Chain A
Amino acid sequence: MTKRRLSSSLRLLPFIAIVAATPALAGGVPAGSIIENTASATYDDSGVERTVSSNTVEVMVEELLDVTVTSQDGSAVSIGSGSAVLTYELTNTGNGPEAFILTADPARTGNDFDPTVTGIAYDTNGNGIYDEGVDLLLGADNRTPVLNADDTLTVFILVDTPAGVNDGQTASVNLLVQAATGTGQPGTAFPGQGEGGSDAIVGATSADDDADGQLTAAVAAVTLSKSAVVSDPFGGNEVVPGATVTFTIVANVTGTGSFDAFTINDRIPDFTTYSPGTLTFGGASLTDGADGDAGSVGSNGVSVNLGTVTSGNSYAVSFDVVVN
């Protein structure tokens, strides 16, 4: 009953250990580590205390290939008629250093439009934002630098809008991440290709992962409508010589966003003559000369630079002509 006595005597003691928390490794014990196990025993041999140790068994920890990737964009990224950046974060959840092959797929089922991928880059200064000329583009092999176990890498997919995209249309861009050593069913082994001469073994993630980034097109559209009001010299609305025709051109901007330096040009109709000093923009008169204001009238007709026009607004330009 030695054991029982031992247990009960031990129970009287305060069994309190003070531990410093060891950092948890998501990927586990580093690849190439050797697990060693040895038991030892003490015993009483006819009054002589003896000790004995077992042999030491060793197990090498192989390299586990695992990776995760997530989109870092909180909501759909707005893309105008130019370019946009989608942000992803990949994590080496394996237990050894590994590089990853990245593939961007902009032609996803369900896309209203397929963006054009112009490059894949990674964050070199750790600010999580794409800095052109600072963050590096991947080479032709689309291979990341080697990431240590548990390290993360912020990745950017650079996209352009194709022609013909309408406001509000959406698109997904998929980033596929694959361990450079290889992928496959969990348990697939790549002998000798792990860290420290260990085998590389595909983990539960199949050594690949993918994530979608979302784009929403934010493009503005303009419709122009032109109307004419005739007033003849006799108080009527007949188009007769001497009648004045007031043309009004309305630019209606719809969608999302704006256009800069939006200019309306209209020529003076044949058999009519521009009526000087009648050019207006938004109800305010403009001078006819090519001077400091937005409008001018010349041999090619009238021209008004509306400046930046934004969606949800209408802009009216008018001028008078007299029928010859």
Chain B
Amino acid sequence: MNSRYILGLALAITGFGFAPVAAAQDRIQLDSEVEVERTKSEGGQTKVDYLPPVGVVPGDRLRFTTGYDNRGSTAAENFVVTNPLPEAVALAKNEDAFVVSVDQGQTFGTLAELQIKETTGEYRAAELTDVTHIRWTLERVAPGETGTLTYFGIVR
């Protein structure tokens, strides 16, 4: 029970985004967060909530959010954020905001551009479940600028 309690605390802390202290030269702070999607019926309407990731099982949708914050006095140019998907998570939804990799981050493109060579030697279009990495590219993050980058995953 103790170890579980401690883990629960750890999850709570990381889940709510108290990032570790950044090294001094890090102008940019990255803050990763995860929530679980829960739907409930209210008066005949389906309501979607994003809650702390408790009771997560295969098939659940997770929302991963990476916040960025330029705390420096200079702009960050060509700001490229790469997020390897956890092995246990499949990409739930493709979005125009990011490009993806299906080969462990060696090459990136839109999902429609990517192909998979099967062990039989045949090619097929890459699917959401093939995605291993996601990448966002921002031209410039000005001093003091903040924002969030989001992707949705499904627990495999």
The tally of residues in B whose CB lies under 8 Å from a CB in A reads 74
Report the minimum CB–CB distance from B20 to chain A (whole Å): 6
B58 in contact with A10 (CB, 8 Å): no
B30 in contact with A52 (CB, 8 Å): yes
| CB nearest neighbor in A for B114 | A15
Partner of B11, one of A10, A21, A58: A58
**A23-66: contact bitstring with B at CB < 8 Å (1 yes, 0 no)?**
00101110001011111111111100010111111111111100
Partner of B32, one of A15, A21, A57: A57
Contacts of A40 in B (CB 8 A): 30, 81-83
* A17/B139 contact (C-beta < 8 A), A54-B66, A61-B88, A192-B4 known: no
A59 in contact with B79 (CB, 8 Å): no
| CB nearest neighbor in A for B30 | A54
Report the minimum CB–CB distance from A42 to chain B (whole Å): 5
Q: How far is the CA of A284 from the CA of B29 in the complex (A)?
A: 107
Is B91 on the interface with A (CB-CB < 8 A)? Answer: no
| CB nearest neighbor in B for A51 | B26
Q: Which of A107-115, A196-204, A210-218, A234-242 contacts B (4 or more CB under 8 A)?
A: A196-204
A-B pairs with beta carbons under 8 A, tally: 194
Q: How far is the CA of A244 from the CA of B137 in the complex (A)?
A: 116
| CB nearest neighbor in B for A27 | B58
A38 in contact with B74 (CB, 8 Å): no
Report the minimum CB–CB distance from B16 to chain A (whole Å): 10
| CB nearest neighbor in B for A49 | B78
Contacts of B137 in A (CB 8 A): 2-3, 6
Give residues 180-208 of A contacting B (CB, 8 Å). 187, 189, 192, 197, 199, 201, 203
Is B3 on the interface with A (CB-CB < 8 A)? Answer: yes
Report the minimum CB–CB distance from B109 to chain A (whole Å): 5
* A52/B22 contact (C-beta < 8 A), A11-B109, A41-B80, A59-B11 known: yes
* A50/B116 contact (C-beta < 8 A), A17-B130, A41-B80 known: no
A28 in contact with B27 (CB, 8 Å): no
A28 in contact with B117 (CB, 8 Å): no
Is A163 on the interface with B (CB-CB < 8 A)? Answer: no
* A35/B88 contact (C-beta < 8 A), A15-B115, A45-B74 known: yes
A39 in contact with B149 (CB, 8 Å): yes
* A17/B55 contact (C-beta < 8 A), A33-B88, A43-B79 known: no
B58 in contact with A43 (CB, 8 Å): no
Q: How far is the CA of A55 from the CA of B83 in the complex (A)?
A: 12
A39 in contact with B32 (CB, 8 Å): yes
Is A20 on the interface with B (CB-CB < 8 A)? Answer: yes
Give residues 131-186 of A contacting B (CB, 8 Å). none
Q: How far is the CA of A6 from the CA of B102 in the complex (A)?
A: 17
| CB nearest neighbor in B for A17 | B103
Report the minimum CB–CB distance from B36 to chain A (whole Å): 8
| Shortest 5 CB-CB contacts between residues of A and residues of B | A28-B58, A17-B103, A54-B30, A54-B32, A43-B76
11 additional A-B pairs beyond A10-B99, A50-B76, A59-B34, beta carbons within 8 Å, are A17-B107, A27-B58, A28-B59, A35-B56, A37-B86, A40-B83, A45-B76, A55-B14, A60-B7, A197-B4, A201-B57
